[in-house]
Each structure stands twice: as C-alpha cells, then as structure tokens.
C-alpha cells in the first residue's frame, strides 16, 4: 500500500469540515502509486480521492497540477476534478502535508491492453494535448535531459541489478543529451501515460489519472512514453501491431510533422532512459516507509537496448 502518512478517522472528520461533500461512509488507503499517500473516500454524496503530497512533489508545482486538471476537465477531458473547500481552495493541509480532494473516476486500468485499447488510449492522449492549449501556467520537465545527469550521478551499484547497466546508462546519457531534438511542437504533456494511469469502461477510455509528472515538453515525447509503456510484451519484444494502432490513432487526432517522425527513435530511447534512471534509483534506494515494491528497472534496460538498434520510426509501426 502506497501510504506514507497515516490519516485517522478523526483527522478525516476535521478535514471534511472544510468541504461540502457530505458525511464519510468509508475510507481506505490505495495500494497503487509510489509518489504520494492516496486514500479512497466514499461519502453520502459520492466517491473521492484524498491525496497527501509527500516530499518528492514540490509544493510550488501543486498549483500547476491542480489547475491543469481543472483546465482539462473544462475542455472535456475525463480526469479527476479538484474539489474546492467552502472558501474556494483546491489545496489544503493535513498532518503537516499539503493535501487535496479530487473526484473519483470509475473504470479499470488494464494490465495487458490489446491493440484496440491502445488505439483508444492514443486518441485520448492526442485529445489531452489539444485540450491543454491555453492553460495559463507552465512547468519545466524536471525529468527531461537536463535532469538525467544529476540522477545518473546519484546512482551507485547499478551493476548489482544487471551486468553492464552502468555502462548502458552512461553511454546512452552522453549520446542522447548531445543529440536531443529541439523546436518540436509542444505544450502540456502528461509525461506518465502508462496503462495504470488510463481507466477503461469497456473498450473506451473512461478517464486519465495521475497528472503529477505533467509538464511542458514536446508532444511526440509523450507519444514515445506511451509507445514504450503500452507496446512491449512481457518477453521484451515490441508489438508492432500495437505500435501501429497507437501511432495511427494519435495521428488521426493530431498529425505528426516530418520533424516529429524523424525524432521519434531518439525520443523513444530518451523516454526509456528516463524511466530506467528513476526505476534504478528507486530500486537501489527504497523508501522504508513505502509498502509498495519499486518497479524492476530491467524492463526498461531491455527496451533501451531494443531502441538502440532502431533506425527509423517505421520500425515502431508508422
């Protein structure tokens, strides 16, 4: 269970005095997530999620995250909507943590989505990119190329996870930072568009959750993150049928420029390195207060090695 800060029922009652969302009926910690403490709250007026923001989420970023969800929801994106207190605040405090309550979305996160699910999710991603236009706040991608080197330098003992992992990280880092594309179309991206952050109702996307890595960056980089997380099979092979479904569905909603297509192989490698770095760091530095096991970084070392052999976006299903 990803709960770092406990909340008693008495704490909850005091918190709910600030809101007009009814009386609590049930309240429990949520097992998913590794960044914050999350709780499912059912009141006599509906279902909600209470999030306590832990140390890895910068306080100055919270207005961006909460404001973005409001902006997207107003433009038809099915995402959690922050619930405001009686005096109009989206953000409050509980147990010395910044906290927020957002609406609960129904749906199921699929562990093994098929090609149709991939297409539906890609359509939602393109819609999210278009809906973010006009959002008044911006946030630099803290886990973009400029953030990779400090993270890599903080990693010790990577070869205890996998032989040659340190060399793979360092070689990839130098090459990618020096060849990273610029000037691509961009705006607000989700930056963590994994299957566990997309909820399905049947074959259709019922909602997108977890915007706490959202930032401003190239749209096609977000597409690369999705291809990496949706289109590989358990044996490490890339499913080109799923890749084609993702790219075609995305392009129907938001066409890709020639520059974006040309940059895709580099961005695929970069997004693989980004998650390899964070997973490696978390694997070697587990939080003793977290009851959730860090994700295996070897999944992304396999993906990075695959991308290192790719020469053209056609190999991803373009």
The number of beta carbons lying within 10 Å of the beta carbon of residue 129 is: 22
Q: Which residues contact 70 (CB under 8 A, 6 or more apart)?
A: 81, 82, 90
What whole-number distance in Å separates Cα of residue 187 and Cα of residue 219? 7
Domain spans, the chain:
9-103, 115-316
What is the per-residue pLDDT for 293? Answer: 73
CATH for 115-316 (3.40.710.10, 3.40.50.150, 3.90.1200.10, 3.40.50.300): 3.90.1200.10
What whole-number distance in Å separates Cα of residue 251 and Cα of residue 269? 21
What is the per-residue pLDDT for 96? Answer: 87
CA 140 to chain centre: 15
What is the per-residue pLDDT for 34? Answer: 61
Residue 41, beta-bridge partner list: 27, 48
Each residue's pLDDT, cut to its tens digit, for the chain (318 residues) gives 355 678 888 999 999 999 999 999 999 988 665 678 889 999 999 999 999 998 778 889 999 999 999 999 999 999 999 999 999 999 999 988 899 999 999 999 998 999 999 999 999 999 999 999 999 999 999 999 999 999 999 999 999 999 999 999 999 999 999 999 999 999 999 999 999 999 999 889 999 999 999 999 999 999 999 999 999 998 889 999 999 999 999 999 999 999 999 999 999 999 999 999 999 999 998 776 665 678 899 999 999 999 999 989 988 888
Domains 9-103 and 115-316 share a fold: no
User: What pTM does this model have?
Assistant: 0.93
Helix axes 219-230, 115-131, angle to 10 degrees: 160
CATH superfamily, with its number, for domain 9-103 = Phosphorylase Kinase; domain 1 (3.30.200.20)
């Amino acid at each position: 269970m990803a709960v770092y800060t406990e909340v008693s029922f008495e704490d909850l009652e005091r918190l709910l005095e600030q809101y007009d969302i009814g009386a609590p009926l049930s309240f429990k910690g949520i097992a998913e997530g590794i960044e914050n403490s999350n709780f499912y709250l059912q009141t006599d007026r509906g279902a909600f999620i209470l999030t306590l923001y832990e140390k890895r989420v910068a306080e100055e970023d919270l207005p961006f995250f909460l404001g973005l969800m409001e902006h997207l929801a107003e433009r038809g994106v099915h995402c959690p909507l922050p619930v405001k207190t009686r005096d109009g605040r989206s953000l409050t405090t509980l147990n010395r943590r910044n906290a927020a309550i957002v609406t609960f979305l129904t749906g199921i996160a699929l562990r093994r989505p098929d090609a149709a699910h991939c297409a539906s999710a890609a359509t939602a991603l393109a819609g999210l990119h278009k809906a973010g236009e006009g959002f008044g706040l911006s946030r630099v991608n803290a886990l973009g190329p400029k953030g990779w080197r400090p993270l890599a330098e903080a990693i010790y003992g990577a070869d205890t996870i996998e032989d040659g992992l340190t060399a793979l990280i360092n070689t990839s880092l130098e090459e990618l930072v020096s060849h990273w594309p610029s000037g691509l179309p961009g705006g607000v991206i989700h930056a963590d568009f994994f299957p566990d952050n997309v909820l399905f109702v049947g074959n259709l996307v019922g909602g997108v959750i977890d915007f706490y890595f959202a930032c401003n960056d190239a749209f096609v980089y977000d597409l690369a993150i999705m291809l990496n997380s949706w289109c590989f099979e358990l044996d490490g092979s890339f499913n080109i049928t799923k890749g084609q479904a993702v790219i075609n569905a995305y392009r129907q909603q938001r066409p890709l420029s020639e520059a974006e297509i040309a940059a895709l192989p580099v961005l695929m490698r970069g997004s693989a390195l980004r998650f390899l770095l964070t997973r490696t760091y978390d694997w070697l530095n587990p939080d003793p207060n977290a009851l959730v096991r860090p994700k295996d970084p070897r999944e992304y070392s396999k993906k990075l090695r695959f991308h290192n052999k790719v020469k053209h976006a056609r190999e991803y299903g373009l």
